[in-house]
Amino acid sequence: MSTPSPSIAGRLPAHRRLRRILGRLALAAGGLVAGVALAEIGARLIHPAGNADLLFNAPDTTPRGLYLVDHELLLVPAPGFSAVSRGLDHRVPLRINSVGVRGPEPGEKRGERWLAIGDSFTLATQVAEADTFEQRLAALLSAPDARVEVFNAGVDGYSTWQATGRYTRLDGTLQADGALLTFFLGNDLQDNERFPMLLPDARRHPEGVPIPRPTTAPWTAWLTRNSYLYAHYRVWNRARALRGGRDPFRQQWRDELSIFTTGGRGRLQGLLPSTRRALQQLRDRVQRAGDRLMVAVAPPAFVVDRERVAPTFEVVGLDPATADLDAPGAAVLSTLSALHIPACDLTPALRAGARTDRMYLTYDGHWTPQGHAVVAEALATCMERR
């Protein structure tokens, strides 16, 4: 009787060979998943560079459909919109009522009403409604026999010009008694200069349709909202592109940051006329309506958290040794004083708060709930003095 050859005898049935291959693949996949999970845990323990809020570009996480094209104001919130605002730093329910402002439907007027206007620091999609400075401020100003409401009419990216238009549209509908503008020193000066140049592009799109946005791959969108490991990579990759001069935003960010340096004093002075005109228009419209006005002057994160200065400046080629962090705030406050507009400088309160709590989100760059609490208390003090 013949004996089978070793090659034939050692051959496994096809189903057993397949099972062995699948088992090895499963082990490899499991090892990969475990490795990525460990890397993700490690990434959450590593504090990112101080310029992470600039480089991460958190506006990419804005819920789609939130804004509609507007030929006068560029964009406005979509009435009735509802979604969850998701980012590395937050998971927040977001709702826009039928009037187009954040929050519940306005009820019957039963006391004093303020309309909060401005950009993303006003809208504050990073925190729950109850944690926004608007809701906290309303609670601080209210008394048992004198209710105060503060409506959140902020819009991401708004200039003072746009905020004024928003106030004009909503004032009568909401029967406001006052306007509270948050003036963000990080880019409002430049936005006030740029706004007229942006209108022609907005008017090329039909009014009332969702604003056009670049298409993002689903996996990129998911990682941007959920992975700290990807966030570290994104920050590192953006920094490399900026230093190499390949990032299209380099010049814009350098311009916005330059006014916080001694070398940018000329640029700062050149920006003030457009901001003065915008603030004057707001003042005049508020006065004609018989309302009151308060302007909150809000600093960017690096003005409060000094450890952010060097990495933020260096990535766009600015020397941190030339930093003059209080110059833009002083210039805007001086302009407001000359226009006889009541103002509230938020920088001292935020710096004091930063000694014990985080005032700004790490990757987003907007205020934390603790930051909103500090802002509300500072505003309440300023408004009560008036």
Q: Cα separation of 34 and 45, whole Å?
A: 17
pLDDT for residue 5 is more than 60: no
The three-state secondary structure class of 286 is helix
pLDDT for residue 32 is more than 70: no
Which residue would you say has higher pLDDT here, 354 or 13? Answer: 354
Q: How confident is the model at residue 308 (pLDDT cuts 50, 70, 90)?
A: very high
Mean pLDDT (the chain) is 90
In this structure, what token pair is assigned to residue 173? 């509908």
Selection from 153, 151, 152, 165 nearest residue 74 by Cα: 165
What's the pLDDT score for residue 125? Answer: 95
What's the pLDDT score for residue 9? Answer: 44
Per-residue pLDDT reduced to its tens digit, 128-156: 999 999 999 999 999 998 999 999 999 99
What's the pLDDT score for residue 283? Answer: 99
In the chain, pLDDT over 90 holds for what percent of residues? 69
pLDDT for residue 239 is more than 80: yes
Q: Cα separation of 362 and 23, whole Å?
A: 42
Per-residue pLDDT reduced to its tens digit, 166-224: 999 999 999 999 999 999 999 999 999 999 999 998 889 999 999 988 777 887 888 88
Selection from 61, 82, 78, 60 nearest residue 69 by Cα: 78
Question: What is the pTM assigned to this prediction?
Answer: 0.89
C-alpha triplet 319, 320, 326: angle, nearest 5°: 125
Q: How confident is the model at residue 290 (pLDDT cuts 50, 70, 90)?
A: very high
Selection from 92, 27, 89, 94 nearest residue 58 by Cα: 89
Q: How confident is the model at residue 8 (pLDDT cuts 50, 70, 90)?
A: very low
Q: Cα separation of 163 and 121, whole Å?
A: 12
What's the pLDDT score for residue 172? Answer: 96
pLDDT for residue 85 is more than 50: yes
Region 76-83 average pLDDT: 98
CATH number 3.40.50.1110 is the correct assignment for the domain at 52-385:
yes
Whether 282 and 356 have beta carbons less than 8 Å apart is answered as no
pLDDT for residue 336 is more than 90: yes
Q: Cα separation of 69 and 77, whole Å?
A: 9
* DSSP letter (8 states) at residue 334: H
In the chain, pLDDT over 70 holds for what percent of residues? 89
pLDDT for residue 111 is more than 60: yes
What's the pLDDT score for residue 259? Answer: 98
In this structure, what token pair is assigned to residue 172? 């009568």
* DSSP letter (8 states) at residue 99: T
Residues ≥6 apart with Cβ < 8 Å to 238:
55, 56, 57, 247
pLDDT for residue 379 is more than 90: yes
What's the pLDDT score for residue 132? Answer: 99
pLDDT for residue 60 is more than 80: no
Whether 155 and 77 have beta carbons less than 8 Å apart is answered as yes
- Domain-wise residue ranges, the chain: 15-45, 52-385
